[in-house]
Amino acid sequence: MENLEKYLPAVKKIFRQNKVVFAFLFGSVAFGKEGRLSDVDFAVFLEKGVDYFNSRLRLLDQLGKIIKSLPVDVVVLNESSPILAQMVLEKGKIIFCQDEEVRVGFYSEVFRKFEEAKFLREQFYNYLEQRVFENKMGEKLYG
């Protein structure tokens, strides 16, 4: 993160221009543990009505032109899985926020969805563990 501090003013300007409501830095670079295969991971939440795909491409292009020392990746939180969003919210570092109310609402929604799916995840992992224990991985489940 220390190396990225010098880029933050330009990064924030790009976020404003691209209708980003809030953004996180996450992954190895966020915690100063980058290796030779690391990239700079941003997670952004976009305003309603924005084309997520084209916005992501534009952000990748613009951020990549500023941060040239490492590859850049952008995740759009509006369309991410609850598991990825939960990980970003728990382990990421907020680096930009234009609307605290929207950010808090997103937190609440993600944690609600994560908890709702907890039972299904547990069932899946129990089933997977049973298949591994019975040495049935790779076998057909039916017929």
Domains and CATH numbers, the chain: 5-133 (3.30.460.10)
DSSP 22: E
What sign does the CA torsion over 41, 56, 77, 44 have? positive
Closest CA to 30 of 19, 21, 38, 22: 38
Residues 6 or more apart whose Cβ sits within 8 Å of residue 67: 4, 7, 11, 40
Question: What distance in Å separates the CA atoms of residue 39 and residue 28, rounded to the nearest whole number?
Answer: 8
Cα separation, 18 vs 63, in Å, equals 11
Predicted TM-score (pTM) above 0.85: no
pLDDT for residue 141? 67
Question: What pLDDT does residue 30 have?
Answer: 82
The tens place of each residue's pLDDT in the chain, 143 residues long, gives: 457 789 999 999 999 999 999 999 999 888 878 788 889 999 999 999 999 999 999 999 999 999 988 899 999 999 998 889 999 999 999 999 999 999 999 999 998 887 777 777 788 878 888 888 888 777 776 65
Distance CA 1, CA 32 (A): 6
Residue 137: DSSP 8-state: T
